[in-house]
Amino acid sequence: MALPRTGLAAAAVALGLAAPALAQDSADPVAHGAYVARAADCVACHTAPSGGAPFAGGYAIASPMGPIIATNITPSEEFGIGGWSEAEFARAIREGVAPGGRHLYPAMPYPSYAKMTDEDVSALYAYLMQEVAPVDAAPAEKTDLPFPFGQRALMAGWNLLFSPDPGWTAPAGLSETEARGAYLADALAHCSTCHTPRGLLMNETAGDYLGGGSLGSWRAPNITPDTATGIGAWSQEEIVSYLATGSAAGRGSAAGPMAEAVEHSLSHLENADLAAIAAYLKTVPPVRSAVDSRAAPQVQPVALSDYESAGWVGNPDHAAALAQHGTTDGAVLYNAACAACHGVDGRGSADGHFPDLAHAAPVTSKDPSNLVMVIAEGISRHAADGYTVMPGFARDLDNAQIASLASYVSETFGGAKTGPSAGDVAQIRVGGAAPWILRNAAWLTWAGIAAAVLVLLVLIALVRLLRQDGRRAA
Amino acid sequence: MAQEHDADVIVIGSGTVGSNAAYELAKQGKSVIILEAGVRIPRWKLIESFRNSPRRTDYNGPYPDAPWAHTSASHAYVENDGSYAMVANFLKLVGGSTWHWGGATWRFIPDDFKMKSTYGVGRDWPISYDDLEPWYDKAEYEIGVAGNLGEDQSGVRPGRTWPPRAREFPMPAQKNSYMLDTFAKAIGPMGYEIVAEPSAMMSGSYRGRPGCVGNNNCAPVCPIGANYSGVFHADLAIEAGCRLITDATVDRIEKGPDGKIASVHYKSSDGSEGRLSARAFVLAAHGYESPKLMIMSDVGNSNDMVGRFLMPHLGLGVDFFAEEAVWPGRGPIQQGAIFSHRDGESRARHSGMKHAVNNFVANENITKRLLAQGVLGSELDARIRHDSARYMSLYSMFETLPDPANRVQPGDRTDALGNPNIRLTYAVDDYCRGAIEPCIADFTNFVTAMNGETLSMSRDLANHDHIMGTTIMGDDPADSVVDKDCRSWEHENLFVVGTGNLPSSSVVNPTLTAVALGIRAADTIAKEV
């Protein structure tokens, strides 16, 4: 099946066509816009963490090029979008160009929002302008990327290459439900922003659509229907449960950015819409990911440490032994820190309240990012089924210990041959390996300048030639 | 010229009260240094220590007891020269003694604040319940407390939510265990009502902590951190910008020429010493250690009130085999309480009391008992199963009155740093003894209701791990240590916080009240520095 990817050519034709019916009541544009805002998860990025005013901006979106600070999108005339016309608003969210011609960075997922229907854009505008309280203040921080990424005009070229024209065309051959799911996943929930791997220029690579991408510290795993490395083995109900609650027993538990997506957006969507997304995900071309691998559980017996023998009251040796907690024996760490919930055998609890590690995606993935991040930061997720917590261990374990614990877990329960090193853990926790474009930014910049000079010289030469031709003709 | 300080505020002690105060100060933008005598030990290490130790029922067992930071495990460190021997268990490590507590987070009731004017005994507080209510609320939402509305904790106001509260508990109470429901049904017809114990062992996930799943190991250490401990706020305080210095035992509080406190001196186990100055100081070192340090430093004690009015909770215990299996040990180690004698006119004559139902797994005690009886082999297995399922135990907590003769002082022995040990002087009074018979009458009813076989029901008073009164709050500088804001009467920039502030002991665990007072004091300090 053909999917609408980058460079969607038929968009102009599609404008206004095939607008998918919303499960939500469309009669009231403001209520409808509120639902669109939920589905597009505007609030997650446009609200500062720990108690910022909704939509007033301030959240720092981690990007390999540096933090990109989400802006104030409340209807404040001076600091927000209060002075924007609907057409200006539409251009910003679908084309990434704010009034005055200022280019946005695609941390704002306008390549996805480009596919939003006119009706939804209009409703979203109505909601933001009429329902959201204006906040007359700019976020405390401002986006300030290093050269050359600070040159926003560069994005014009990027957009030409990678951002589709505005409007929605459903992929061919889908049922009405699947088409609705495609619209929700692609135009609003912008799944591919994270779950599609990025190319050399940080573009989504069309051929690996939803095949799993890296977000720096976290990995957004393969969500195509590939049975071995994707979610092909998940039932429709399991996908819906995961989207609504962040958890599907025996499959996975959302952490990090996905927990945020569940908390702020997906858990608020109507069940019919979650079912539509699940149905659509079943239809996309399976991608065999080299990273998101599932292994047969090989649970091995684990070692327990010895009983204490020394006296302890007033014993400096006992006190000193307790103060020594730098061991990198993964089995010791697992048994003391993890086994109370996940079990010495890693099988969790029978009711799935504590996940079975042998079937937990972060454990069986070849990419240790999510395992490392979950151990370090834990899970803290509000969703339809309440508040779910796994405590984080960053305060109690150093990087070498997290590495040995992650190795023990992935080797013992996930069938891995080796786990991450302390260096790997350090790199994952600071945001992962730098992407190609960042590692090569310096010479690319000079190469780009050289290319521009070359093009200029060729143009000058051409102009001269043409003039000479003209003179001859004259 | 502005004086340079090491911090706006120095907090001595990283336990629940000190850490909550430090966190509140940091949230209000103050620079804060926390000094802690012990070290930080990660939960997993304590769990390993607990599992590897054969001393399972010793609540100090998994924790360090160092010659430079003694705990109550060192009996030579806590000596008694009174007629009644007191040892309240305490720990020294980051997070303090709430590492090994039962999570009981009761509020005092309004009458607890006016014992003198209502019942003619003890003292009135300089503040009322209503003054403290918003701070109770704040403390409950900081810590996370699970409890039920619509329950009367006074015992004399059936059907009312008592003490009154402005809003709901952060979370509902955990479901009753089968044992508690069975027991409630049995004693109900006798007129007894079981009230859910407000608990920091959360019924669901709260602020990054998972909900309780019934490991039944709240003390000595909760394996998953569902039970609150001061370490959560020590960590929150550090995240909010506080600087924590561990292995730093403060041995002197130094007065400046202006009568204010100028600095504190501390020693570490490696022999190094330090001195730090601040605009204000919060002494949150524990109900024994705080007054000891004040006396050692000759601070705030010109009226000789520091360390006096020591109030413990004393009480009795009963254990018995119920006729039918009740399966103790499912859920938290303590859950329900009975207030047949908490408030009301009898309080003018004898201590009010709380009865509480224990809910620990009984196998170890049962097995020891059977082995002592010579039961062996397959009969032993069968009897362990039979007896453990039927074992029940309750304990009572009696309030005590503030008497200046009951006190804590520095002793003559010294620890590895050269600091004095703790000397306690305590005598039980008739007000407290008067509660013994009413308590025994209740216990007898409880055993009868369960058609039980009594194992032990002693009239010997045992002390619980609560210390109140030793840095007592009052409205008269002549007979109290701190004013209504926990401020030293003598040194306007010294705030002493902790359970030692409480001018009455009530019958309930004092931690939540101390946290509420501590956060309130921090808020006062934040307005001044």
pLDDT at A200 over 80: no
Same domain? For A8 and A117 the reply is yes
Same domain? For A324 and A451 the reply is no
Same domain? For A9 and A87 the reply is yes
The pTM score is: 0.87
Same domain? For A48 and A162 the reply is yes
Closest-CA residue of chain A to B269? A316
The domain ranges of chain B are: 7-145+206-312+403-425+466-529, 147-197+314-398+435-463
**Domain enclosing residue A459, as ranges:** 440-473
Residues in B touching A245 (Cβ below 8 Å): none
For residue A78, give Cα distances in angstroms to A81, A84, A121, B385. 8, 10, 22, 74
Per-position b or e across A35-64, b if 16+ CB within 10 A of its CB: bbbbbbbbbbbbbbeeebbebbbbbbebbb
Same domain? For A107 and A8 the reply is yes
Mean pLDDT taken over chain B: 96
pLDDT at B213 over 70: yes
Mean pLDDT across A127-143: 92
Identify whether the C-beta of residue B36 lies closer than 8 Å to the C-beta of residue B245: yes
Q: Tell me whether residues A322 and B213 touch, CB distance under 8 A.
A: no
Describe chain A by its helix, strand, coil percentages, rounded to 5: 45, 5, 50
Q: CA of B80 to nearest chain A CA: how many angstroms apart?
A: 19
Q: List the beta bridge partners of residue B502.
A: none
Q: What is the model's pLDDT at position A295?
A: 57
B window 170-209, beta carbon within 8 A of A? 204-206, 208-209
Choose the final residue of a domain: A189, A207, A231.
A189
Is residue A367 a part of any domain in this protein?
Answer: yes
Q: What is the model's pLDDT at position A20?
A: 46
Q: What is the model's pLDDT at position B115?
A: 98
Picking from B73, B205, B235, the nearest residue to A389 by CB comes out as B205
Give per-residue pLDDT as tens, A21-77. 454 555 788 999 999 999 999 998 899 887 889 999 998 887 777 888 999 999 999
The number of folded domains in chain A is 3
User: Amino acid identity, residue A122?
Assistant: S
**Band of residue A278 on the pLDDT scale cut at 50, 70, 90:** very high
pLDDT at B204 over 50: yes
Q: CA of B415 to nearest chain A CA: how many angstroms apart?
A: 10
Q: What is the model's pLDDT at position A26?
A: 59
Identify whether the C-beta of residue B256 lies closer than 8 Å to the C-beta of residue B468: no
Q: CA of B37 to nearest chain A CA: how many angstroms apart?
A: 13
CA distance A313 to A310: 10
Give per-residue pLDDT as tens, A225-251. 998 889 999 999 999 999 999 999 888
Identify whether the C-beta of residue B323 lies closer than 8 Å to the C-beta of residue B451: yes
Picking from B41, B213, B215, the nearest residue to A323 by CB comes out as B41
Same domain? For A381 and A445 the reply is no
Q: Tell me whether residues B66 and A313 touch, CB distance under 8 A.
A: no
Q: CA of A402 to nearest chain B CA: how many angstroms apart?
A: 13
Closest-CA residue of chain B to A353? B213
Q: CA of B240 to nearest chain A CA: how many angstroms apart?
A: 12
Same domain? For A465 and A325 the reply is no
Does B43 lie at the interface with A, CB-CB under 8 angstroms? yes
Same domain? For A331 and A453 the reply is no
Question: Which class does domain B7-145+206-312+403-425+466-529 fall in?
Answer: alpha beta
Q: What is the model's pLDDT at position A17?
A: 36
Residues in A touching B46 (Cβ below 8 Å): 322
Give per-residue pLDDT as tens, B364-403. 889 999 999 999 999 999 999 999 999 999 999 999 999 9
Q: What is the model's pLDDT at position B102?
A: 93
Mean pLDDT across B210-228: 93
Give per-residue pLDDT as tens, A244-266. 999 998 888 999 999 999 999 99
Does B223 lie at the interface with A, CB-CB under 8 angstroms? yes
Is residue A124 a part of any domain in this protein?
Answer: yes
The SS3 call for residue A348 is coil
- The ipTM of this complex is 0.92
| DSSP category for residue A252 | E
**Band of residue A11 on the pLDDT scale cut at 50, 70, 90:** very low
Q: What is the model's pLDDT at position A14?
A: 35
Is residue A379 a part of any domain in this protein?
Answer: yes
pLDDT at B322 over 90: yes
Backbone angles phi, psi at B277, to 5 degrees: -115, 160
Mean pLDDT across B172-197: 96
* Lookup result for tokens 């089968």: B178
What percent of chain B is modeled with pLDDT above 90? 93
Backbone angles phi, psi at B64, to 5 degrees: -70, 145
For A63-77, A120-134, B134-148, B242-256, which range has the lowest pLDDT when averaged over its residues?
A: A63-77
Same domain? For A332 and A372 the reply is yes
Rounded to 10 degrees, the C-alpha dihedral B47/B51/B55/B57 comes to 70
The CATH number that applies at residue A375 is 1.10.760.10
Rounded to 10 degrees, the C-alpha dihedral B502/B503/B509/B514 comes to -10
Q: Tell me whether residues A325 and B213 touch, CB distance under 8 A.
A: no
Higher pLDDT, A207 or A473: A207
Per-position b or e across B80-100, b if 16+ CB within 10 A of its CB: eebebebbbbbbbbbbbbbbb
Same domain? For A401 and A457 the reply is no
| DSSP category for residue A145 | P
Mean pLDDT across B406-415: 96
Q: Which two tokens stand for residue B328?
A: 């103790």
Q: Tell me whether residues B210 and A391 touch, CB distance under 8 A.
A: yes
Is residue A143 a part of any domain in this protein?
Answer: yes
Q: What is the model's pLDDT at position A6?
A: 36
Q: What is the model's pLDDT at position A148?
A: 76
Identify whether the C-beta of residue B521 lies closer than 8 Å to the C-beta of residue B483: no
| DSSP category for residue B501 | G
Q: Tell me whether residues B64 and A335 touch, CB distance under 8 A.
A: no
Is residue A324 a part of any domain in this protein?
Answer: yes
Q: Tell me whether residues A390 and B210 touch, CB distance under 8 A.
A: yes
CA distance A376 to A425: 9
Same domain? For A458 and A429 the reply is no
Picking from B52, B74, B225, the nearest residue to A391 by CB comes out as B225
CA distance B510 to B515: 9
What does the DSSP assignment read for A366-417?
Answer: SS-HHHHHHHHH-EEEEETTEEEEE---TTT--HHHHHHHHHHHHHHTS--S
**Band of residue A320 on the pLDDT scale cut at 50, 70, 90:** confident
Q: Which two tokens stand for residue B516?
A: 């509420």
Instruction: List the one residue out of B336, B362, B321 whose CA is nearest residue B180.
Output: B336
CA A169 to chain centre: 24
Identify whether the C-beta of residue B463 lies closer than 8 Å to the C-beta of residue B86: yes
Same domain? For A63 and A164 the reply is yes
Higher pLDDT, B441 or A359: B441
Instruction: List the one residue out of B409, B435, B458, B370 whose CA is nearest residue B121.
Output: B435
Q: Tell me whether residues B52 and A308 touch, CB distance under 8 A.
A: yes
Residues in A touching B224 (Cβ below 8 Å): 340-341, 391
pLDDT at A470 over 60: no
CA distance B148 to B161: 9
Choose the final residue of a domain: A154, A189, A224.
A189
For residue A134, give Cα distances in angstroms to A83, A123, B505. 12, 18, 51
For A156-160, A218-222, B308-312, B496-500, which range has the lowest pLDDT when averaged over its residues?
A: A156-160
Q: What is the model's pLDDT at position A141?
A: 86
CA distance A334 to A406: 9
Is residue A310 a part of any domain in this protein?
Answer: no
Choose the final residue of a domain: A143, A159, A189.
A189
CA distance B74 to B267: 20
CA B415 to chain centre: 25
Per-position b or e across A4-19, b if 16+ CB within 10 A of its CB: bbbebeebeebbeeeb
CA distance B46 to B219: 11
What does the DSSP assignment read for B187-206?
Answer: HGGGT--EEEPPBSB-SS-B
Identify whether the C-beta of residue A55 lies closer than 8 Å to the C-beta of residue A47: yes
Mean pLDDT across A297-319: 66
Is residue A239 a part of any domain in this protein?
Answer: no
Q: How many CB atoms lie within 10 A of CB A302?
A: 16
For residue B300, give Cα distances in angstroms to B124, B260, B294. 21, 10, 7
Q: What is the model's pLDDT at position B73?
A: 87
Query: Which residues of B are catalytic, by number?
Result: 466
Mean pLDDT taken over chain A: 85
Give per-residue pLDDT as tens, B144-154. 999 999 999 99
Q: B147-197+314-398+435-463: which CATH number, 2.60.40, 3.40.50, 3.30.410, 3.20.20?
A: 3.30.410
Does B216 lie at the interface with A, CB-CB under 8 angstroms? no
The residue among A325, A353, A397, A404 with the most chain B CBs within 10 A of its CB, best to mutate, is: A325
Picking from B45, B64, B211, the nearest residue to A318 by CB comes out as B64
Closest-CA residue of chain B to A387? B205
For residue B451, give Cα distances in angstroms to B34, B300, B337, B362. 53, 55, 20, 19
Is residue A228 a part of any domain in this protein?
Answer: no
Q: Tell me whether residues B39 and A323 touch, CB distance under 8 A.
A: yes
**Band of residue A473 on the pLDDT scale cut at 50, 70, 90:** low
For A25-34, B147-156, B496-505, B520-529, which range has the lowest pLDDT when averaged over its residues?
A: A25-34
Q: What is the model's pLDDT at position A297?
A: 58
Does B47 lie at the interface with A, CB-CB under 8 angstroms? yes
